[in-house]
Amino acid sequence: MATQARLELRYGINPHQAPAVVLAAGERLPFRVLNGAPSAINILDALFSWNLVRELSEALGLPAAASYKHLSPTGAGLGVPLPDDLRESYFVGEIELSPVATAYARARGADRLCSFGDCVAMSDVVDEAAAALLVQEVSDAVIAPGFEPAALELLKQKKRGNYLVLEADTEVGLPKVERRDLLGVTLEQPLNDARLTIDDLRAGIVTENRELPEETARDLLLATIALKYTQSNSITIASGGQLVGVGCGQQSRIHCVQLAASKGQLWHLRRSPLVQALPFREGISRPERDNAIDLYLRDEMTPKEREAWLTSFSSEPRPFTPEERGAWLAQLWGMSLSSDAFIPFRDTIDRAAAVGVGYVAQTGGSIRDPEVIEAANEYGLLMTCTGVRLFTH
């Protein structure tokens, strides 16, 4: 792979921060540009998301994909076959999916509202099936270890020919030390190369419930690995081979939990027959449909929001009653939650149990560990303590 050690960017973090440049720490950059012109945010999201999917694939032995924005994943998924209701919820329909395309469908479908204008990362070569899904979505960039010729041609037509396509150089390893120049100072530290395994999760179980099924262990590890690439404080929730809720960048852990939990509930509500039967008008775009579903699932709308919302449909949708909503959400149980640091109070467990979390991974080491573990025992949850903090800043 012919790569370079220096790359001029369109601009830095903001358009007025120009000129901007990316310099390789070693002999060459860990990627090359196949199409488009990157900005600094494109590069940051590409680097973080690429290393996330690479670590997920190596740890779990499956193709992985991520939808990434502003240094945190909106979703991440594995190449685990999709059930019919998720195919409908993710707008896949009857399209035949390869494993890497399935991973991408899961990553994009976790939070379709937040995935708008994302950077996509895939752990495997992008095939035509994955590219065909990607070209239908509003996205700014993709990074992968390679692209089938037909897939690359599809992607080069996106965004009027300006879609950013980056080919990751798998031969460029990560440095042992990372440095950042910020506001006149240089920060230097060892790279966060912590690698947890399913065996580590099993070894750290601290609750009376010690039954950790294989698929759940996979989800718990997926959620935990994702924390390394999510801005702290952060909580991730996984189910069925994908992230379904990400709460990140909050100053209190309970707000992270509330954010991740609400997104997990919205993910589940999107699967309901009422949502899948919404009478959308002909010709509505995917983003318009996503926004309309989000408003439908809200508890309330302003009169102006409702007026605009109704234009998305051929007829007025039947309301999703509180009783129907509650009954549908009551089916949600057994999700896996991971915390990037110790859980300081039992309120995290109370909230997690209320939304269907059955398995929890956390760092441990708080003076209130006994109280938090006892809360998990009250709900019959399984909790494991890893002893590894995974802050990302």
Active site residues: 69-70, 233, 393
Q: What are phi and psi of 148, to 5 degrees?
A: -60, 145
Buried b (16+ CB within 10 A) or exposed e, 223-233: bbbbbbbbbbb
Q: 321 with 350: CB under 8 angstroms?
A: no
Burial class (CB in 10 A: 0-12, 13-18, 19+), 289: middle
Residue that is written with structure tokens 């965004």 in the block: 159
Distance CA 316, CA 249 (A): 37
Distance CA 383, CA 373 (A): 7
If we measure between CA atoms, which residue out of 53, 65, 75 comes closest to residue 267? 75
Q: 153 with 134: CB under 8 angstroms?
A: no
Distance CA 292, CA 296 (A): 6
